[in-house]
Amino acid sequence: MLALPRLDSTSPASVVVEDVRIEMSVEAGFRVYRAHQDGQTRTVYEAADGPAGRYAYDPVERRFDRVSSSLRVRLTDYERLDDVVASAGALRGKNYKALGWALLRLRPEQDPATVARSLLENPLVVGAEVMLEEPIRVPQ
């Protein structure tokens, strides 16, 4: 999974990881994300007049998914969730101790991938996962 930077400006950007080239630009009032892989192109369009979203590209599934502003974290001590929320600069957190994880709700300006990496340096955090907002899939 490749987490992409937010496209806030009109200047184009590109990212190359292994055999995938991703281009990000603003065209005709849309933010456009294009993934070029194995001679095929996958594209996502987002209205440029709205808030910029964050996206990830899955090279195995060959699709874009929107990145959620929540992180799933596993902790050594769930009673200290407030300390983890504060260290992440998150808005709030909720324990799901019986499920073995907690959710952190991030501020809109925070990059979930960056926050997840920084949380791994916290001794209270065993793991941190970026969550995706997968589209509703209708059975065919």
Please write the tens of the pLDDT for every residue from 16-31: 988 999 999 999 999 9
Q: Is the pLDDT of residue 11 over 70?
A: no
Largest CA distance in the chain: 50
CATH 3.30.70.80 domain range(s) in the chain: 68-133
pLDDT band for position 136 (50/70/90)?
A: low
Domain 68-133 in this protein, CATH class: alpha beta
pLDDT band for position 7 (50/70/90)?
A: confident
**Type of residue at 97:** K
What whole-number percentage of the chain has pLDDT above 70?
Answer: 94
Please write the tens of the pLDDT for every residue from 54-78: 999 999 999 999 999 999 999 999 9
Determine the Cα–Cα distance for residues 134 and 122; give it in Å rounded to an integer: 28
Q: Alpha carbon 23 to chain centroid distance? A: 17
